[in-house]
Structure 1
Amino acid sequence: MEARKSSAIQPQMFQFVDMDELVPKKHILRQLNEALDFSVVHDWVAPLYTERTGRPAADPERMVRLMLLSYLFNHSERELYQLLSMHAGYLWFCGLDFESVQRPSPNRPSLPDRTTLVKTRKLWRKHGIFEQMMIHVVDQCIAAGLVKPDVHAGVDGSQVRANASVHSLQEITLAPVHSIEEYLSELARQDQDEMPVDPKKEDSDPPPSSSVRSASETTRLQEEAVHEDFHGKKFSNATHRSVTDPDARLYKKSKGQEAYLRYLVHNVVDVTSGVILSTQASLAAGTAEREISLRQLAALRFQHPTIRIRTVSADKAYGTPEYLGALFAQGMIPLVSLRNLEL
């Protein structure tokens, strides 16, 4: 009878692992590591930190690589940190190894905490660091000859579904307008509430505050909205807002399409190379595609002075007299469908 072999791996006291050998030679992370220069981010973020107070900041180049991993492989930050400890390629791309995760040491590179990554992302977004990164990457493509001096651009806006349901829509209610007498009475009531409490009444239960009632009322309205029957009701951006994502807007591009809570993402692409020259998100609105693409095209002339946009390709949604005239005014030739356009 054949003896069964245990599938459990016997731990070894010493084990040498070369992280570079674990990453395939043609893996996308190797190509990115060779093509992109992340070291310049140190100079960009230096004014945001101080050397005199607080703990030492996490390596900004490593933070960029972590954010890039999250975006390229569609991982949330929480999911990414769950995968890092068992993914050699991710660790190698960030300049780490398995020891950095299992037994971190202050004397060697370490993985920053997930909350540090979240706070860093918010800080950099506030100070325009990501816009600088975008410009820098496009400059590298220009320097490498991937983007030629004469650019034939294409513009388009893509719909992005918001992480909010139409059941979260509630009617917009304006704040009530109080008279001066009502306002003074409210101030007097608040002053009365802030007066010292009688020790004899300390043990009694305080009456529920208006803020507590307001929170419970909001919760009740949200629960009712989830189970509400919307059949036959009409909603619009002028009358309703989502309590989950107030910035999301009801939007659809065509008559046969169902309206959902959405955003728009606008891209300007070099048609020849496929390089995205500019990208921007906005609220979903009917004229947003044309308005924002004009701003992007104008900004590219100053961000990258060595290139000149000769032509602009777009779909028929951009075929308005105002938009075409603005392109001609900037010295760009529009390649846009003119169906149903009256000149």
Structure 2
Amino acid sequence: MMGPRQVEQGALFYEFSLDTHVPAEHLLRSIDRFVDLTGLRQELAPFYASTGRPSVDPELMIRMLIIGYCLGIRSERRLCDEVHLNLAYRWFCRLGLDGRVPDHSTFSKNRHGRFRDSDLLRRLFETVLARCIAEGLVGGEGFAVDGSLIRADANRQKGVESSAGLPPEAVSRAAREYLAVLDEAAFGAATPVPPKFISPADPAARWTGAHGGQAFFAYTANYLIDLDHAIIVDVEATTAIRQAEVTAAKRMIERSRERFDLYPAKLAGDSGYGSAEMLGWLVYEQGIEPHISVFDKSTRTDGTFSRADFTYDQPDDVYRCPAGRVLTTTGTRVNDGATLLYRASKFDCTPCPLKARCCPNEPRRKVPRSIYEGARDMARDIARSEEGKTSRRERKKVEMLFAHLKRILKLDRLRLRGPNGAKDEFHLAAAAQNLRKLAKIIPVPQPSPA
């Protein structure tokens, strides 16, 4: 039988509780346990005037941003509409049924002002990380590092050749931020090689063809994670070039030590972090085992002996060639003081029957050796061990986080421009991923039966 027609009837009184209408298994209910913004509010206090019209509650804006980044809502205009309509979002933001949702322009005004002046989003990430540490999800014994390219909000077809420089009309906020970071190792000073093209809309975005397809403008999101539960220990935005990623890795390791007293015993990474200088920094200065593939281009392809065919005698500090002859060094460093040259005697090389396979076009053979070769040997030994094989598997946890970042959180392309825009987005995304991990690992306590 067809039921009666529903007719709207006004009621004089309602008994309605948002809390009872949010499902117990809802993601925001699981996350809400770990969101404590009281400290952030105190840090923002000096950036507000003591008189004048009351501003929008900063805690409300941060909670709305957490919703957006946790649930992949990329547009702040759409985020405001969703919070206005969704009961669970209103509950998480403490708005009630009649609370007013701020206008989307409020986010932009605060982001370019108070949020960046106080480094609020960095503090938000560290607050979430501190909760992860307090819950025992960060072991601190083994870390992994990696970077991933994130497309910038810049049209690849509107790039100008770097030799021509920025056009006079490029006076945007992103252009001013680019000029401010020209001397930073993470951006302009990462390499002396200029990019092929520059984007007038976002000059700090790097023109790159690293994915093998069409080149595009991008930034790099650098993650340092703990290997126990893949908690993001630190995050850094850099230009899309390998030298900047190595610099970011050093910064993140040092910062995690200063801020949270974390002393990892090992660091896992791909060969991009396996330069001699980086391995030497890890072993000799930080005391960290390098579970990293060594970046080595010493293998020859012309059929002559490679450096690996020469045996190094550490007690005597000499190399021995395949014929058993000795190569010595004067101790003079070359290549910016990072390399020693070991040379054989001309009287040994000239009559040697292996000369055609060793140095056919030179009177004697010379072998370069990095001053960090001991750290490189240590990394090679670790790579051949079972522990090294385990680290290579665990290192994929970073790549899984980047896949989650792009596919689930929808951060495959930046929405904000400039170095500060990239930093803001990466800090919020990393905080959201850590919050989701907390909610996944630590179940919601079930109420005990009466």
Which TM-score applies when normalising by structure 2? 0.56
| 1:160 alignment partner in structure 2 | 150
| Cα shift readout 1:236-277 (whole Å, capped 9, x = no counterpart) | 9545311232221111336x4432111100010001121101
| 1:170 alignment partner in structure 2 | 160
What does 1:65-214 correspond to in 2, within 5 Å?
A: 65-75=63-73, 76-101=75-100, 111-122=101-112, 123-148=114-139, 150-172=140-162, 173=164
* 1:276 has 2:232 as partner: yes
Match of 1:308 among 250, 263, 278: 263
- How many pairs align? 273
The secondary structure found in structure 2 opposite 1:124 is helix
Shift of 1:126: 2.9
Shift of 1:163: 1.9
Q: Which segments of 5 or more consecutive residues in structure 1 lack a partner in the other structure?
A: 102-110, 177-210, 216-235
Matched to 2:229, the amino acid is S
* 1:332 has 2:322 as partner: no
* Alpha-carbon distance in 1 for matches of 2:260, 2:2: 70
* Alpha-carbon distance in 2 for matches of 1:326, 1:253: 26
Q: CA 1:13/1:294 → structure 2, altered by over 3 Å: closer, same or farther? A: same
CA contact (8 A) 1:309 1:332 kept: yes
Match of 1:252 among 209, 221, 240: 209
Matched to 2:217, the amino acid is L
| 1:207 alignment partner in structure 2 | none
| 2:43 alignment partner in structure 1 | 44
| 2:223 alignment partner in structure 1 | 267
Matched to 1:333, the amino acid is E
Shift of 1:94: 0.4
* Alpha-carbon distance in 1 for matches of 2:43, 2:247: 30
Q: CA 1:161/1:274 → structure 2, altered by over 3 Å: closer, same or farther? A: same
Shift of 1:144: 1.9
CA contact (8 A) 2:166 2:200 kept: no
Matched to 2:287, the amino acid is G
CA contact (8 A) 1:319 1:341 kept: no
Matched to 1:251, the amino acid is T
Q: Which runs of 4+ in 1 moved over 6 A?
A: 2-5
What does 1:224-239 correspond to in 2, within 5 Å?
A: 237-239=194-196
Q: CA 1:31/1:174 → structure 2, altered by over 3 Å: closer, same or farther? A: closer
Q: CA RMSD in A?
A: 2.6
* Alpha-carbon distance in 1 for matches of 2:269, 2:77: 38
| Cα shift readout 1:55-103 (whole Å, capped 9, x = no counterpart) | 12322222210111121122211001111221011000000122224xx
* Alpha-carbon distance in 1 for matches of 2:244, 2:166: 29
Matched to 2:45, the amino acid is A
Matched to 2:25, the amino acid is K
* Alpha-carbon distance in 1 for matches of 2:28, 2:287: 39
| Cα shift readout 1:175-213 (whole Å, capped 9, x = no counterpart) | 99xxxxxxxxxxxxxxxxxxxxxxxxxxxxxxxxxx9xx
The secondary structure found in structure 1 opposite 2:94 is coil
Q: CA 1:118/1:9 → structure 2, altered by over 3 Å: closer, same or farther? A: farther
The secondary structure found in structure 2 opposite 1:133 is helix
| 1:228 alignment partner in structure 2 | none
| Cα shift readout 1:159-179 (whole Å, capped 9, x = no counterpart) | 101122211112343599xxx
Q: Which segments of 5 or more consecutive residues in structure 2 lack a partner in the other structure?
A: 171-192, 299-372, 374-450
| 2:57 alignment partner in structure 1 | 59
* Alpha-carbon distance in 1 for matches of 2:115, 2:250: 26
CA contact (8 A) 1:166 1:261 kept: yes
Shift of 1:341: 5.1
* Alpha-carbon distance in 1 for matches of 2:109, 2:145: 33
* 1:17 has 2:19 as partner: no
CA contact (8 A) 1:166 1:242 kept: yes
CA contact (8 A) 1:237 1:249 kept: no
* Alpha-carbon distance in 2 for matches of 1:268, 1:99: 42
| 1:288 alignment partner in structure 2 | 244
The secondary structure found in structure 1 opposite 2:147 is strand
Matched to 2:109, the amino acid is K
The secondary structure found in structure 2 opposite 1:35 is coil
Shift of 1:322: 0.9
Q: CA 1:332/1:20 → structure 2, altered by over 3 Å: closer, same or farther? A: same
| 1:319 alignment partner in structure 2 | 274
